[in-house]
């Protein structure tokens, strides 16, 4: 399955660690923001932002499943815009959110297909699905 992971940009390093386990389970992670570096010299912030936003939306559109991380609060709320786009595109929506962070002020999160308390729970779910496929 093609996956897009959404989180605050400051969480890039933490979320990147889940890319390899997902790949080992047979999934492709399309979220190139996990590898992004700094803005190229000579490019304006506005131009860079537009390019990054357009790229992210293309990757979400190409994904089968959108995974939203709500473990840390967001200052820009970009991941919530991405959630709205994924919902509009009728993507499978999984949310990783411990406890109360799932519904706190985000009613559209209630439209998720599944919610997981942690990334470990999500990976365990994907492992179970992989085992079930092999058994068929």
Residues 6 or more apart in contact with residue 99 via CB below 8 angstroms: 117
Does the domain formed by 2-135 have CATH 3.30.70.1710? no
User: How much is the pLDDT for 73?
Assistant: 74
Task: Tell me the domain boundaries of the chain.
Answer: 2-135
- Closest-CA residue to 34 (of 54, 55, 11): 11
The pLDDT tens digits for 63-119 are 999 999 998 877 788 999 999 999 999 999 999 998 876 566 688 999 999 999 999
CB 27 within 8 A of CB 2: yes
CB 83 within 8 A of CB 109: yes
Give pTM, 2 decimals.
0.91
For the sheet with 28-29, list strands across it.
Answer: 28-29, 2-6, 65-69, 92-96, 114-116
């Amino acid at each position: 399955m093609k996956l897009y992971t959404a989180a605050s940009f400051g969480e890039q390093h933490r979320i990147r660690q889940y890319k390899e386990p997902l790949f080992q389970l047979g999934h492709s992670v399309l979220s190139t923001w996990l590898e992004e570096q700094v803005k190229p010299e000579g490019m304006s912030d506005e131009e860079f932002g537009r390019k990054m936003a357009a790229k992210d939306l293309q990757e979400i559109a190409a994904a089968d499943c959108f995974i939203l991380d709500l473990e840390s609060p967001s200052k820009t709320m970009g991941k919530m815009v991405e959630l709205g786009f994924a919902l509009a595109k009728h993507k499978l929506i999984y949310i990783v959110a411990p406890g109360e962070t799932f519904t706190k002020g985000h009613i559209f999160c209630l439209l998720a297909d599944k919610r997981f308390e942690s990334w470990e729970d999500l990976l365990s779910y994907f492992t179970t699905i992989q085992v079930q496929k092999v058994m068929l």
